[in-house]
Chain A
Amino acid sequence: MRKVYVVGVGFTKIGRFFDKGLRELFAEAAIKALDDIGGENVQALVVGNMMSSSLGEQDNLGAVLADYAGLGGIPAFKVEAACGSGGVAVYTGYSLVASGLFDIVMVGGVEKQTEYPTRIVSKGLAQASDAEYELFYGISFTGLNALVMRKYMETYGISRDEMSVWPVLMHKNASKNPYAQLPFEVTIEQVSNSMLIADPIRLLDSSPIGDGAAALVLASEKYARKLSDTPVEIAGVGLATDHIYIAYRDDLLKLKATIDASKVAYRMAKVEPSQIDVVEEHDAFTILGYMNLEDLGFSERGKTPKEIAEGRFHPGDKPTVNPSGGLKARGHPVGATGVYQVAEVAMQLRGDYPGVKVNGEIGLAQSIGGLGTTVSVIILRR
């Protein structure tokens, strides 16, 4: 397999954009990424997106976005793995370059949610679960995560206020992020007293609904130096899946797919968790923020909330976790999120990240589709 590098990045602010559709949002990110490589042509486009079909009534998305980003005619297609679509798009784009099929590939991600009523978006998001045995009963994605959060709190004896440190840290990091959807700070009291959505999950435990698009340009070793002065190597990739019916899993308190995907990525990159400087992980809900760190090998089961309260994983620590503010506060434009994460980690390593900065050489991005049903882990090295 050939080495693959991130040579260009671009993304939009995350928020509510009534004046931009899927095409305009994606074109904005794609143009930034193309400008980042000096306007060179890309040979193929892979797009991560979840709900263009269920919400936007648009299939055939690869062709549409290639056309409207000025890339018309090149091979282009969408990959879908629910909220983990972006990570799987990066994984796919990596494979296209590593295999030798192409030298320069754009990986994009885009999601458009805010122009639909929340009840419609919630239904679209809930389609990440088992349609016949979970969604059938009307359980929302928040509801499924709440089952895990209650079990976690009960098993490890963690109080509501102890759980609330995650959103506080994420909002603090996002307050310095110019493209974050929620760039303001919150307190433990605000988190613990926010509206109940699905007990014990409250509003401020949940990532917001937002629009956004991100794009990366990946290149082979031969082209990497030509297109960028600061190429960042994709040193390891891992992808794993698990039972979609969460009741079928032996242990609710770990996401086996994260463990499996990260093992593969660590082995491929020849690194240990202790060597990672910066992490962007998939904290769609507070509970996932903690469990992801445990599954990725950064902290012990049930101890993460306490460690974060004591300053672990904050800016300045190794690893620094979600300097962007994470899904919680940077925002979670579903199918684009995994692409944002890789773009953010790449910028941290090359030194031009616009928010909380981490000085380091190795970074990790983890993206989850469904409640741990599809997980990708991507390790980058300067």
Chain B
Amino acid sequence: MSMKFSIPKTWRERKPHYLLEATKCKNCGKIHYPPRTVCDKCGSRDLERTRLSGEGRIVSYTVQYVVLDGFRDYAPIIYAIVELKEGVRVLAPLTDVKPGDVKIGLKVKAVLRKVSEDGKLGLIRYAIKFKPLEAESQK
């Protein structure tokens, strides 16, 4: 069995990756994704965990044709920066959409998907990706 993916690391990051868990500053209210230990806005160390809505709009995107090792099966991969309702931006791949149907401003929502696998018998990484909302919700 391959051990390229660390089990403790995958476990540690599961909530931000599976549930879009962020941190929120109890002092100034800023939300941070990925989660932080110290608020970069006010310096407070008093942070709490919060879950993001997962709904937002595409700020920018790329269709990556030349992909890295371990991602060949998914090529080409569309990556996007999405601004969520909360004002927080997240970078993730898009899923369930063709390159020609993507544009800046498209409404999307987060769904859980497979990202990569450590060989046939090793750990599988899962995380959120974004898929377009239905046509009638695009207004």
Q: Do A and B bind each other?
A: yes
Identify the A interface with B (CB < 8 A).
119-120, 122-123, 126, 130, 132-134, 136-140, 142-143, 146-148, 150-151, 154, 196-201, 243, 245-248, 252
The reply to whether A246 and B81 contact each other, CB–CB distance below 8 Å, is: yes
Minimum Cβ distance to chain A for residue B5 (Å): 10
Instruction: Provide 8 A-B residue pairs closer than 8 Å at the C-beta atoms, listed in order of the A residue.
Output: A133-B16, A133-B91, A138-B116, A140-B68, A147-B80, A150-B104, A197-B64, A247-B81
Please indicate the chain A residues that have their CB under 8 angstroms from the CB of B29 in the complex.
none
- Residues 4-29 of B at the A interface (beta carbon under 8 Å): 9, 13, 16-17
Please indicate the chain A residues that have their CB under 8 angstroms from the CB of B65 in the complex.
196-199
Minimum Cβ distance to chain B for residue A155 (Å): 9
The reply to whether B68 and A122 contact each other, CB–CB distance below 8 Å, is: yes
Of A130, A137, A143, A247, which is within 8 A of B127 by CB? A137
Chain A, Cβ-Cβ closest to B125: A136
Minimum Cβ distance to chain B for residue A343 (Å): 32
Minimum Cβ distance to chain B for residue A150 (Å): 5
A150 to B61 alpha-carbon distance, docked (Å): 7
A248 to B115 alpha-carbon distance, docked (Å): 21
Minimum Cβ distance to chain B for residue A313 (Å): 26
Cβ contacts B86-130/A at 8 Å (1 or 0 each)? 000111110000010000100000000001100000000101000
Please indicate the chain B residues that have their CB under 8 angstroms from the CB of A126 in the complex.
68
Minimum Cβ distance to chain B for residue A187 (Å): 23
The reply to whether B61 and A247 contact each other, CB–CB distance below 8 Å, is: no
Q: Give the bracket for the number of chain B residues in contact with chain A.
A: 35 or more
Please indicate the chain B residues that have their CB under 8 angstroms from the CB of A248 in the complex.
32-33, 89
The 8 A-B pairs at the shortest CB distance, nearest first, are namely A146-B62, A138-B71, A247-B89, A151-B60, A198-B64, A199-B63, A247-B91, A143-B64
Minimum Cβ distance to chain A for residue B25 (Å): 14
Q: A122-B66, A139-B77 are in contact. List 15 more A-B contacts (CB 8 A).
A: A136-B17, A138-B68, A138-B71, A138-B115, A139-B93, A142-B66, A150-B60, A151-B59, A198-B62, A198-B66, A199-B62, A199-B65, A200-B62, A245-B34, A252-B60
Please indicate the chain A residues that have their CB under 8 angstroms from the CB of B33 in the complex.
247-248
A151 to B127 alpha-carbon distance, docked (Å): 25
Chain B, Cβ-Cβ closest to A154: B104
B70 interfacial by beta-carbon distance below 8 Å: yes
A200 to B33 alpha-carbon distance, docked (Å): 27
The reply to whether A147 and B116 contact each other, CB–CB distance below 8 Å, is: no
Please indicate the chain B residues that have their CB under 8 angstroms from the CB of A148 in the complex.
60
B38 interfacial by beta-carbon distance below 8 Å: no
Contacts known (A150-B62, A252-B60); A132 close to B79, Cβ less than 8 A = no
Chain A, Cβ-Cβ closest to B75: A138
Q: A-B pairs with CB below 8 Å: how many?
A: 101
A316 to B89 alpha-carbon distance, docked (Å): 43
A119 to B71 alpha-carbon distance, docked (Å): 11
Chain B, Cβ-Cβ closest to A244: B34
Chain B, Cβ-Cβ closest to A145: B62
A199 to B77 alpha-carbon distance, docked (Å): 11
A119 to B60 alpha-carbon distance, docked (Å): 25
A133 to B12 alpha-carbon distance, docked (Å): 13
Please indicate the chain B residues that have their CB under 8 angstroms from the CB of A142 in the complex.
64, 66
Minimum Cβ distance to chain A for residue B55 (Å): 16
The reply to whether B63 and A123 contact each other, CB–CB distance below 8 Å, is: no
The reply to whether A252 and B91 contact each other, CB–CB distance below 8 Å, is: no
B134 interfacial by beta-carbon distance below 8 Å: no
Please indicate the chain B residues that have their CB under 8 angstroms from the CB of A199 in the complex.
62-65, 99
The reply to whether B69 and A132 contact each other, CB–CB distance below 8 Å, is: no
The reply to whether B64 and A139 contact each other, CB–CB distance below 8 Å, is: yes
B42 interfacial by beta-carbon distance below 8 Å: no
The reply to whether A140 and B89 contact each other, CB–CB distance below 8 Å, is: no
The reply to whether B68 and A119 contact each other, CB–CB distance below 8 Å, is: yes
Minimum Cβ distance to chain B for residue A345 (Å): 33
The reply to whether A198 and B60 contact each other, CB–CB distance below 8 Å, is: no
A138 to B75 alpha-carbon distance, docked (Å): 10
A243 to B40 alpha-carbon distance, docked (Å): 10
Please indicate the chain A residues that have their CB under 8 angstroms from the CB of B89 in the complex.
247-248
The reply to whether B104 and A147 contact each other, CB–CB distance below 8 Å, is: no
The reply to whether B79 and A143 contact each other, CB–CB distance below 8 Å, is: yes
A200 to B80 alpha-carbon distance, docked (Å): 13
Please indicate the chain B residues that have their CB under 8 angstroms from the CB of A132 in the complex.
9, 13, 34
Chain A, Cβ-Cβ closest to B92: A137
A171 to B95 alpha-carbon distance, docked (Å): 38
Contacts known (A137-B91, A137-B127); A147 close to B34, Cβ less than 8 A = no
The reply to whether B70 and A138 contact each other, CB–CB distance below 8 Å, is: yes
Please indicate the chain A residues that have their CB under 8 angstroms from the CB of B40 in the complex.
243
